[in-house]
């Protein structure tokens, strides 16, 4: 949960093109919470803060009577320095703009569901949780100016694309064959009836870049461990109607709607 809270904060800043600089942290802890677990959480946060040179400038701790809550809650706020000269997301896009996904979908949700014993399967699926600032920083330094940046959290791939479509009144076409997929996650989704495109991630981004910048952006992203499975998964095809179209691997087309409800209660 320490890693998750830090990454969630950093990724929110990264989605605005901002380098994380400062953070505040509030801990609400149930009376009797395991001391070793608490130290592990703090150590995880400190290690990431040191790695990204993020300074903790304010914090508070409250202990709640046993049984009034469960475990530990972490509230974290980040302050960053924006490295781009425009505000994201943009509202103006061009036909042909390319949509990039920085990795496979759904590992975080599936790993949490297994940890909670909601589902069972052989093998291991690790959470995709990761700080995504290196992606944005590298693109900006290499002269790529994304028109849209969003981490793929609640509502998953479908929710972010529908948000993009609504913001720009865009018709977006997504090519299912191009979407990077963890075959084990896909199989689990098929067995349990989950929609892989609605699963929350904590270490994936969707970016929109100019058509002429797309291949360069992919080359840059593939050099980073956190985005080595990046792919161009779609494009803007019209600016007159807000809709997301999925071109399936079988050649048909279907609408990718905004998800209704969530598989998991909100964690981050």
- Give the DSSP per-residue string, 158-170: HHHHHHHHHHHT-
**Hey, how many other C-beta atoms are within 10 angstroms of the C-beta on 7?**
24
If phi > 0 it is left, if psi is from -120 to 50 it is alpha, else beta; for residue 115 that is: alpha
Calpha distance 64→87 (Å, rounded) = 40
Q: What is the reported pLDDT for 190?
A: 94
Q: What is the reported pLDDT for 202?
A: 95
pTM to 2 decimal places: 0.92
Q: What is the reported pLDDT for 267?
A: 60
Q: What is the reported pLDDT for 265?
A: 55
- CB distance 220 to 125 below 8 Å: no
Q: What is the reported pLDDT for 123?
A: 82
All structural domains of the chain, each given as residue ranges with its CATH number in brackets, are 18-82 (3.30.1330.10), 98-255 (3.90.650.10)
Nearest to 247, CA basis, from 237, 258, 260: 237
Q: What is the reported pLDDT for 268?
A: 60
Could you write out the three-class secondary structure of 50-81?
HHCCCEEEEEEEEEECCCCCCCEEEEEEEEEE
Q: What is the DSSP letter of 1?
A: -
Q: What is the reported pLDDT for 118?
A: 87
Per-residue pLDDT of the chain (268 residues; tens, 9 = 90+): 999 999 999 999 999 999 999 999 999 999 999 999 999 999 999 999 999 999 999 999 999 999 999 999 999 999 999 998 888 888 889 999 999 999 999 999 999 999 888 898 888 899 999 999 999 999 999 999 999 999 999 899 999 999 999 999 999 999 999 999 999 999 999 999 999 999 999 999 999 999 999 999 999 999 999 999 999 999 999 999 999 999 999 989 999 999 886 665 556 6
Calpha distance 193→190 (Å, rounded) = 5
Calpha distance 54→19 (Å, rounded) = 9
Name, in order, each residue with C-beta under 8 angstroms of 257's C-beta and a sequence gap of 6 or more.
158, 162, 244
Nearest to 257, CA basis, from 119, 155, 123: 155
Strand pairing of 18-30 and 55-64?
Answer: parallel
């Amino acid at each position: 949960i320490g890693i998750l809270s830090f990454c969630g904060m950093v990724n929110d800043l990264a989605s605005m093109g901002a380098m994380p600089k400062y953070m505040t942290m509030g801990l609400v802890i149930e009376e009797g919470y395991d001391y070793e677990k608490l130290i592990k959480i703090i150590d995880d946060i400190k290690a990431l803060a040191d790695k990204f040179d993020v300074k903790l400038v304010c914090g508070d701790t409250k202990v709640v009577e046993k049984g009034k809550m469960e475990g530990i809650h972490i509230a974290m706020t980040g302050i960053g320095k924006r490295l781009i000269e425009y505000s994201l997301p943009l509202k103006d896009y061009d036909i042909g703009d390319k949509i990039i996904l920085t990795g496979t979908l759904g590992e975080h949700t599936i790993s949490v569901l297994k940890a909670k014993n909601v589902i069972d399967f052989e093998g291991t699926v690790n959470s995709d949780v990761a700080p995504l600032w290196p992606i944005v920083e590298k693109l900006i330094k290499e002269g790529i100016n994304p028109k849209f940046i969003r981490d793929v959290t609640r509502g998953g791939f479908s929710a972010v694309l529908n948000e993009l479509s609504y913001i720009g009144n865009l018709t977006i076409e997504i090519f299912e064959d191009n979407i990077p997929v963890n075959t084990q996650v896909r199989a689990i989704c098929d067995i349990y009836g989950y929609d892989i495109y609605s699963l929350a991630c904590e270490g994936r981004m969707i970016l929109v870049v100019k058509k002429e910048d797309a291949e360069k952006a992919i080359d840059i992203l593939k050099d980073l461990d956190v985005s080595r499975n990046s792919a161009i998964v779609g494009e803007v095809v019209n600016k007159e109607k807000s809709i997301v179209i999925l071109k399936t691997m079988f050649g048909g087309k279907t609408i990718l709607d905004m998800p209704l409800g969530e598989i998991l209660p909100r964690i981050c």
